[in-house]
Structure 1
């Protein structure tokens, strides 16, 4: 199976750093929407693919634009939500990295399915500040779940810190061999 980590397009929370990190529920900028549209040409999707998305507006918008006109199956999953990297134990989740409630996701992004076996506390807590051992448990469960989908290619639309954390987990050394992609960039891995 091939996993392709895709970073969301340019978000509104990146326009006036550090002040913009306190913006709640940031979406994509005009450039971010264009970047997401280009993914249709650069990474064309088919019914043999799965697209799994972090529960934030900017990632859901990226995937929604990219998936338009395709038959790829689509999911939203909390264990690929925003994650700080490197992890700081004195840190709290920034407003821009708070995840959307399931009810709101269902209202605004009804084409995205939610896995039935994810406990409510993960949807509520997210993975942004969880300790490494708990993140590794969630990451292992998530990777086992995507294997069960039986897809040749699984695209994961998420955030730079989350991509870095998963790359470190998959590498097994706490360090990533790959640089994290820029906005609407991607990195493929065979697992």
Structure 2
């Protein structure tokens, strides 16, 4: 199975750091919308494809613009939500990384499936490394259950880097992806 981790397109929270990192629920910028549209040239989506999306507005918007109304399966999961890399304390978490609630996603994005799991409240942003590794293993096994040749995961730079590390790669912040950057890995 191939997993394609794709970083969300440019959003408002990156325009004027560090102040803009405290924006709650930032949306894509017009540049970000254009970046998301260009993803379709790199990864043309069909109705057979599966996207797993982080529960933040910017990742959901990236996926919706990218798929351009293709009726593929899109699932929102907190297990690909934002995660700081390297891990810092909860006090150091950014407001821009607060996940949307399940009810808000269901209300604002009724065309998406929302995974039913126990991790909506806490998410993965500031959980311990051993706890993340356990959830990452569960997530990878859950992906295997779909029996898809490839799965697209729309997420965040820190989350993607954390999964790359979990999957055995030696990574640092220098390995962060830029807007709509992507990383492919084979998982057996």
TM-score (norm 2): 0.94
In 1: Cα distance, 2:90 partner to 2:5 partner: 28
Could you tell which deviates more after superposition, 79-88 or 44-53? 44-53
Shift of 1:124: 1.0
3-state SS, counterpart of residue 113 of structure 2: coil
Match among 177, 183, 187 for residue 187 of structure 1: 183
Shift of 1:138: 0.9
Measured against aligned partners, the alpha-carbon deviations of 1:105-150 in whole angstroms (never above 9, x if no partner) come to 011111211223x11xx10111111000001111111111111111
Unmatched runs of 5 consecutive residues or more in structure 1: none
Pair 42,134 (structure 1): closer, same or farther in 2 beyond 3 Å: same
In 2: Cα distance, 1:90 partner to 1:24 partner: 16
Aligned to 2:39: 39
Match among 133, 146, 155 for residue 152 of structure 2: 155
Could you tell which deviates more after superposition, 124-133 or 45-54? 45-54
Shift of 1:60: 0.4
Stretches (4+) displaced over 6 A: none
Pair 102,88 (structure 1): closer, same or farther in 2 beyond 3 Å: same
Aligned length: 186
In 2: Cα distance, 1:97 partner to 1:176 partner: 21
Shift of 1:90: 6.3
Alignment of 1:12-161 (within 5 A): 12-89=12-89, 91-116=91-116, 118-119=117-118, 122-161=119-158
Unmatched runs of 5 consecutive residues or more in structure 2: none
In 2: Cα distance, 1:90 partner to 1:98 partner: 11
